């Protein structure tokens, strides 16, 4: 009797595609290089599937088996309103497809919502339950990157030694459970060519605020910053490229800090300014178009800073929650300011700032993201998963 093929399922269950690039390349490489495996892409909706297909070669996409996790239309309609407050549609998709998840040998996920599935499968199947592998969607330094729930994963495929050290230090994993693979997003998006975003040669700022209502600079400082930039058309261009989830809803709730705030609107001056490009929902927010093309980074707590620092350049951070400049390791990559007047003052000397922080940026990048010139992160990740699913 022929045994069924071992199955590795890649879970893409978010409402946006911003996490997909962290695992899509690994999935494509595994499907193409290990045809004896059943490699499945479980997608939240057809739009997410289309975006994932765009990330990998057609030959790899053909080697993948695609599974649509979409809810019936009536479910989507009934859950649309509560979904504006909590991710109830994502959770409902997990609940409805539990049988499909139980058939996988390993499920690969870039976020921890899937652990609800794991807990249920362990209750039902015990030691024979599906195993779960974690590939973080970013390499940041916030506490949420080392949430205690992460201990429930079985395997960790990590971008750099920093993440291994922190996982072990937080008691989330042993060194043996951690596998160093590099930053797989670079394999599918890292070579995005530098775009000519403005019809001039002035330095371009990418402003990249997070969505967390406590930590994001947008809520208290963002509109003021864009109004200031609008008046600096002889000095700077600016791409307003927030985290893709910031403008998905008006009310933002932080489970981590237990606060909620309404998101401010973009000021009219920014829309009218010829030196400001506003993008709140396109794939360019997460395909590295802006981080590759900008000359200067302004942000707060987004791990996209390390994508920007693939090439060392001036970076600035707004401490919206007044945590102090030592709050995060990635704030060592540039000046930390408390308000827009302080930011205006240090931005003027951006060329010198870039030189001052270059050595630190290169050191922290190397600690955070391991680059193997001989093998891509996708290849390394695929080899790790092939070994794990075969018990090696």
**233 phi and psi, to 5 degrees?**
-65, -20
Domain 7-183+371-389 identical in fold to domain 204-368: yes
For residue 252, the cross-strand partners are 261
Q: Considering the domain 7-183+371-389 in this protein, what is its CATH number?
A: 3.40.50.2000
Taking Cα atoms as reference points, which of 325, 344, 324, 323 lies closest to residue 334?
325
Q: Note the pLDDT of residue 49.
A: 95
Quickly count helices (H) and strands (E) in the chain.
16, 15
Let me know: does 188 contact 21? Beta carbons within 8 Å: yes
User: What is the overall mean pLDDT for the chain?
Assistant: 96
Tokens of 54: 């765009």
Q: Note the pLDDT of residue 256.
A: 86
Query: What is d(CA 208, CA 244) in angstroms, rounded to the nearest whole number?
Result: 10
pLDDT tens digits, residue range 320-346?
999 999 999 999 999 999 999 999 999
Q: Note the pLDDT of residue 3.
A: 65
For residue 253, the cross-strand partners are 260
Q: Note the pLDDT of residue 1.
A: 46
Cα–Cα distances in Å, from 116 out to 84, 201, 258? 20, 50, 21
pLDDT tens digits, residue range 179-223?
999 999 999 997 878 999 999 999 999 999 999 999 999 999 999
pLDDT(97) > 80: yes
Please return the burial class of 64, using the count of CB atoms within 10 Å of its CB with bins 0-12, 13-18 and 19+: buried
Tokens 């269950």 correspond to what residue? 13
Q: How many CB atoms lie within 10 A of CB 112?
A: 17
CA angle 264/268/274 to nearest 5° reads 125
Confidence category of residue 149, pLDDT binned at 50, 70, 90:
very high
Query: What is d(CA 20, CA 114) in angstroms, rounded to the nearest whole number?
Result: 15
Let me know: does 11 contact 108? Beta carbons within 8 Å: yes
pLDDT tens digits, residue range 14-50?
887 889 999 999 999 999 999 999 999 999 999 999 9
Q: Where are the domains of the chain?
A: 7-183+371-389, 204-368
Q: Note the pLDDT of residue 261.
A: 97
Q: Which residues, at least 6 apart from 248, have a Cβ–Cβ distance to it below 8 Å?
A: 15, 16, 281
Taking Cα atoms as reference points, which of 172, 144, 141 lies closest to residue 156?
172
| CATH number for domain 204-368, candidates 3.40.50.12580, 3.30.470.20, 3.40.50.280, 3.40.50.1100 | 3.40.50.12580
**260 phi and psi, to 5 degrees?**
-140, 145
177-186, 229-238, 247-256, 301-310 — which is least confidently predicted? 247-256
pLDDT tens digits, residue range 103-115?
999 999 999 999 9
Tokens of 203: 């330095």
């Amino acid at each position: 009797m022929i045994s069924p093929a071992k199955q590795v399922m890649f879970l893409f269950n978010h409402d946006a595609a911003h996490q997909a690039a962290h695992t899509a390349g690994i999935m494509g490489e595994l499907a193409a290089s290990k045809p004896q495996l059943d490699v499945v892409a479980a997608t939240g909706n057809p739009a997410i599937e289309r975006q994932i297909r765009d990330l990998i070669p057609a030959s790899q996409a053909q080697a993948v088996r695609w599974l649509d996790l979409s809810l019936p239309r009536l479910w989507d309609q009934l859950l649309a309103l509560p979904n504006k407050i909590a991710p109830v549609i994502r959770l409902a998709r997990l609940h409805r497809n539990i049988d499909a998840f139980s058939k996988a040998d390993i499920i690969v996920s870039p976020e921890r919502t899937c652990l609800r599935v794991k807990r249920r499968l362990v209750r039902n199947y015990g030691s024979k339950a599906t195993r779960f592998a974690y590939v973080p969607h970013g390499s940041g330094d916030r506490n949420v990157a080392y949430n205690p729930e992460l201990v429930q994963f079985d395997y960790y495929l990590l971008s750099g030694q920093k993440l291994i050290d922190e996982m072990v230090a937080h008691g989330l994993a042993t060194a043996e459970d951690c596998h160093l693979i590099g930053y797989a997003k670079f394999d599918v998006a890292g070579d995005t060519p530098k775009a000519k975003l403005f019809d001039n040669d002035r330095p371009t700022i990418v402003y990249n605020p997070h969505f967390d209502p406590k930590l994001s600079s947008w809520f208290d400082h963002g509109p003021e910053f864009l109004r200031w930039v609008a008046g600096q058309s002889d000095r700077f261009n600016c791409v307003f490229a927030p985290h893709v989830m910031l403008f998905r809803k008006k009310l933002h709730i932080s489970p981590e800090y237990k606060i909620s705030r309404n998101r401010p609107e973009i000021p009219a001056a920014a829309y009218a300014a010829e030196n400001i490009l506003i993008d709140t929902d396109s794939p360019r927010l997460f395909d590295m178009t802006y981080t590759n093309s900008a000359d200067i980074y302004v942000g707060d707590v987004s791990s996209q800073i390390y994508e920007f620092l693939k090439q060392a350049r001036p970076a600035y951070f707004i401490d919206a929650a007044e945590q102090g400049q030592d709050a995060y390791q990635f704030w060592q990559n540039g000046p930390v300011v408390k308000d827009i007047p302080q930011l205006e003052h240090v931005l003027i000397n951006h060329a010198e700032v870039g030189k001052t922080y270059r050595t630190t940026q290169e050191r922290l990048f190397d600690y955070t993201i391991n680059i193997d010139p001989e093998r891509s992160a996708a290849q390394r990740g695929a080899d790790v998963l092939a070994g794990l699913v075969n018990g090696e």
